[in-house]
A and B are shown apart, each in its own frame.
Chain A
């Protein structure tokens, strides 16, 4: 964010990849692609590729963490060392991935009916295989599908998208350059039925009016994401044997 650069992010109202202001990148979602996991999903969002596996409800380890009242939701977000264009990264959790694991977990703690599964844990594993800006929203979108695919009861569905501002124009679904060189990035996740905000982060400078516009656009965009999630989940039951292409 805010790095100096000569890159023009907007030319004649078109963005670098030819999208207009509030267009989303292409989104492809596939559910049920892993065999051992209780639920799974793969999301290709622009150039992002993210895979998610769900285990649980299962025995809580370590046992002393278990709650007699509800299931614990645990999340691990991690990026593959080959996922970004820059140098080969070190494996192991970074401060960034620890934070992202936390905010993703906090999205689903609102949705999963954890009271039904006391003394257990539910693990959400999300791995970024290829990154291109907006990995956390891609991961939330994937995790929501994977949890539904695992048959874990949820109050609502989560759909996420990042909105922001680049070259003084408000935009939706920031690509990597727009994230790195733009003025503001605001990832948001909405629940589908209640329209609750489940994730909200922001950095950069925005006026109150701009935030309001962006939130409205994020809500509209999240409905489009929801439609893709819905189709993916439906497809698993209609044609479960379809071959998974990465």
Chain B
């Protein structure tokens, strides 16, 4: 029997077992459907970066580093600093990740996290202006170290945690003085994503890798305390009611997570 054929059969079996369990109201790890796994945040783990955080969401582990550089501003926004988010799904994080240029999953991850932070106007980009033709650029690098499901939320939590840890470097004569800081980066909001997946008719918050393998739909919502900042539907489809229910959950779980930051 070919490997591909085996995998097709296995995925059906896996899904059957999970659906039967969900019908009884049980997830494999005994969590409630709208419950997150345990979240552990360690800040300032990378001393060479201006800000960093290491987050464990269950068995998923993500490291985020924040660095500053001096760059030329975009011509249509000459008084504003810039922000660049990049994601790496490291090959050591999962047997399914390959070395090489970013694939669609890591591009989507970077863009969803970026959009949450950007739309929430979390960073005051005007404060990053140095002088005519020179602004600071914030680089947010998402490093997925261990993939056991839901690396989007783990990365988003780590990104915000790293930003709350970030110190703005001193700039003299248009150059960054490394190791010297002029104070903490001022954050206007704390956007946090909450991802849910649908398996048959059940919506599960913060899916594990086993649950993700059986998913029919995926939805990620970034919220601040007051607003929705970004939405991304991944695989599959959903109804309006399902979307609104998930919005309520995203606000609730988002607020829980914000308390940990």
Contact = CB atoms under 8 A, between A and B. Distances in A.
A245 B86 contact: no
Contacts of B90: 53, 125, 127
A179 to B, nearest CB: 15
B240 to A, nearest CB: 36
Nearest to A132: B48
B245 to A, nearest CB: 31
Interface string A57-95: 010000000000000000010001111111110011000
A34 B46 contact: no
A236 B248 CA distance: 42
B148 A81 contact: no
A93 to B, nearest CB: 9
B95 A58 contact: yes
Given A53-B93, A55-B95, A130-B47, A81 B65 contact: yes
Given A85-B179, A130-B46, A35 B92 contact: no
Given A36-B93, A81-B141, A82-B141, A88 B69 contact: yes
Contacts of A129: 46, 63, 65, 143
A39 to B, nearest CB: 10
Contacts of B68: 88
Interface stretch (A44-52, A109-117, A194-202): A44-52
A131 interface: yes
B145 interface: yes
B17 interface: no
Interface in B125-152: 139, 141, 143, 145-148
Contacts, number: 103
B42 A245 contact: yes
A37 interface: yes
Contact of A91 (B61, B66, B88): B88
B48 A131 contact: yes
A123 to B, nearest CB: 7
Interface residues of B, number: 37
A41 to B, nearest CB: 10
A37 B91 CA distance: 9
A109 B146 CA distance: 26
B95 A91 contact: no
A223 to B, nearest CB: 28
B45 A84 contact: no
Chain A interface main SS type: loop
A135 to B, nearest CB: 12
Contacts of A83: 46, 48-49, 65
B54 interface: yes
Contacts of A92: 101
Contact of A125 (B45, B52, B59, B91): B91
A244 B54 CA distance: 11
Contacts of B91: 53, 55, 76, 123, 125
Interface of A: 33-37, 40, 47, 49, 51-53, 55, 58, 76, 80-88, 91-92, 123, 125, 127, 129-132, 244-246
Interface of B: 42, 45-49, 52, 54, 56, 59, 61, 63, 65-69, 86, 88, 90-95, 99, 101, 139, 141, 143, 145-148, 176, 178-179
Given A53-B92, A82-B141, A129-B65, 15 more contacts: A35-B59, A49-B45, A53-B91, A81-B67, A82-B49, A83-B48, A85-B48, A85-B179, A87-B67, A125-B99, A127-B90, A127-B143, A127-B145, A132-B48, A246-B54
20 contacts: A34-B92, A34-B93, A34-B145, A35-B59, A36-B93, A36-B146, A36-B148, A40-B92, A53-B93, A58-B95, A80-B88, A82-B139, A82-B141, A83-B46, A88-B141, A92-B101, A127-B90, A127-B92, A245-B42, A246-B54
